[in-house]
Amino acid sequence: MHEWPDWWNFEIILSPHVIERMLDRDFSEVELRAMLEDAEGYRPSVMHGRYLITTHLADAPWEVVVEPDHLESALTLVTAYRVE
């Protein structure tokens, strides 16, 4: 597992997009938070300032896209999806 960056412990904020995706992709906020607790690692996204968190849900691989805000000490959860 990676050594987690400082933003890993920031306050979590759910974006409107991830809330919408919860309905579309059939996962809850509780499951999303559990995915973060069970995260295996992270890497930079192609979009500057965002990161992909590798995790799992129900024995399937998932990724959660996050965007840290260092000024606000907040970690916005942008979206989450099952890796096919």
Q: What is the mean pLDDT of the chain?
A: 95
Under the banding of pLDDT at 50, 70 and 90, the label for residue 3 is confident
Q: What is the mean pLDDT of residues 65-70?
A: 98
pTM of the predicted structure, to 2 decimals: 0.94
Q: What is the pLDDT of residues 20-61, one digit of tens each?
A: 999 999 999 999 999 999 999 999 999 999 999 999 999 999
Task: Quote the pLDDT of residue 65.
Answer: 98
3.40.50.300, 3.30.450.20, 3.20.20.150, 3.30.2310.20: CATH of 6-82: 3.30.2310.20
**What is the rounded CA–CA span in Å between residue 73 and residue 69?**
6
Task: Give domain limits for the chain.
Answer: 6-82
- Placement of tokens 């300032």 in the chain: 49
Q: Which pairing describes strands 74-82 and 11-14: parallel, antiparallel, or unpaired?
A: parallel
> Is it the case that residue 2 has pLDDT exceeding 70?
no
